[in-house]
Amino acid sequence: MDQEDKTLASNNLEALLINLLDDNDFQALSDMEERFNIFDALGTRRQELRHSDFLSYILDPGRPHGLGDKLLRDFLLEVTEDAETVIPDVFHGVPLRLDPLNDTQVYREYMHIDILLRMPGKWLVLIENKIGASEHGGQLTKYETQIETHLDNLPALLIYLTPSGSPASQPDWIPVSYTLVHRLVKKWAIASSTPNDVKNALSNYADYLEGHVLEDSKVAELCRSIYKRHKQAIDILNEHIPTPKDFYLDLAQKVMNLLEKENRIVLDSKYRKVNRFYDPRLKKLLPEIDESASWTRSGKGILFEWEIGAGHLRLDLVIGPVSETDRKRIFQYLESSEYQAQLTGQVEGLKIVSRIGKRWAHYTQTPIIAFEQIYEDIELEDTRELVNTLKAKVETILEAHYSVLSEVLSDDPALHSESP
């Protein structure tokens, strides 16, 4: 592509983006996102635990929200009214409308159940809350067994709550959509009997559900309309959205740069966009790589390296292509239970992986940050605090490994590097 074509393509892209930014629906969507919402401030987006915390609070008649048992009663009536599965008699018609529910006990994560409602001696309600995740490990069947065994086998209403009302894997679980929750929250947010501070909280939560959880909402409708008119511009933007891997690798490189400025590490060649490195205190002790190898520019045979783990970014200590003699001697020391206990005791989550037969042995592996945090971290305007947190983890790893490697390598003069 010559310069004229590049200029034309750039101008076309700019025009596409300007049209998108000037679109009335896009501006309306931006205005909605810019309104303050306490649930946005708390980072609740698609976090099941926080949604379950709030739901269990407003469903609990004993909490000081001023709703008593009214919202709980509405919730149970709506769930049972539309249920297509067989439900226990205690949840039918008149009893549910007339019996007081103020004695209902509400538990979070009891026997790993998201929300458990218990009317002593009468009934149970189990709520499995799924936002952005799916069932795993036969958990619904396990919950059914647990209530039969540990909760007096009381009549139970089983609710499977998801954004769209997706069916559960087990037939006795009633699929319920967050649309129902949204409708009830809005109802009590405007009720004259609801205290003003609770009205604000409920209104915030209703807006939050509409913006980030419900699949059939004004926000979803706006998004579909905008995409239909500006597909090309949005597709271009999507191509440049950072993946969790890219986002955290960029932060890892910032950590590397900070530690290098403080002379805490020596940077080596890059791998996965981030520099490998070693502790300068070990410079004269680290073995050299084999003469036939070309692993890194420093020639050092033991380096730290950033890796992509299963759902997380991790930092590994890698023993590279050193001579076979050096390798066996190093592992002879590192296989000591004393050294391994020293490492695992000082660094949370560190795992020892001894694979002597390979030219590259990832001897220790330490998870640094989980990719699932991306939904909160990607929205940070300033990542300095996050970078400092990661930096502190790396410093802990450096110190733990230094205390071990300085002993291991010093014990065998044949492993010492002669380079200055």
306-339 per-position pLDDT tens digit = 999 888 999 999 998 888 888 888 888 888 888 8
| Residue 127 predicted with pLDDT over 80 | yes
Percent of the chain scoring above 70 in pLDDT: 82
What is the average pLDDT value for the chain, to the nearest integer?
83
Domain assignments of the chain as residue spans, ordered by start: 38-224, 244-415
The sign of the torsion formed by the CA atoms of 274, 280, 281, 282 equals: positive
Contacts by 276-280 with C-beta closer than 8 Å and gap 24+? 276/303, 276/304, 276/305, 276/306, 276/318, 277/303, 277/304, 278/302, 278/303, 278/304, 279/398, 279/401, 279/402, 279/405
Higher pLDDT, 4 or 206: 206
Unique residue bearing structure tokens 């409308």: 97
Nearest to 302 by CA among 411, 420, 413, 398: 398
Helix ranges restricted to H, 323-366: 324-334, 337-346
Q: Are 251 and 236 in contact (CB under 8 A)?
A: no
pLDDT digits (tens, 9 = 90+) for 349-382: 999 986 655 677 889 999 999 988 887 787 788 9
Higher pLDDT, 20 or 4: 20
Reduced to 3 states (helix: H, G, I; strand: E, B; else coil), residue 177 is strand
pLDDT digits (tens, 9 = 90+) for 191-216: 999 999 999 889 888 888 887 787 66
Nearest to 29 by CA among 267, 210, 270: 210
Over residues 260-273, mean pLDDT: 92
Distance CA 44, CA 391 (A): 26
Higher pLDDT, 21 or 183: 183
Distance CA 313, CA 368 (A): 6
Could you give the C-alpha distances from 406 to 58, 119, 128, 146, 282, in angstroms and in order?
Answer: 57, 62, 51, 52, 7
What's the pLDDT score for residue 36? Answer: 45
To which H or E segment does residue 123 belong? Answer: strand 123-129
Which amino acid, residue 353?
A: V
Higher pLDDT, 418 or 192: 192
Question: Which DSSP string do the residues of 245-296 spell out, in sequence order?
Answer: HHHHHHHHHHHHHHHHHTTS-EEEEEETTEEEEE-GGGTTTSPBPPTT----
Reduced to 3 states (helix: H, G, I; strand: E, B; else coil), residue 56 is helix
Tokens representing 25? 């629906």
| Residue 73 predicted with pLDDT over 50 | yes
- The side-by-side arrangement of strands in the sheet containing 361-370 is 266-271, 274-278, 302-308, 312-319, 361-370, 351-352
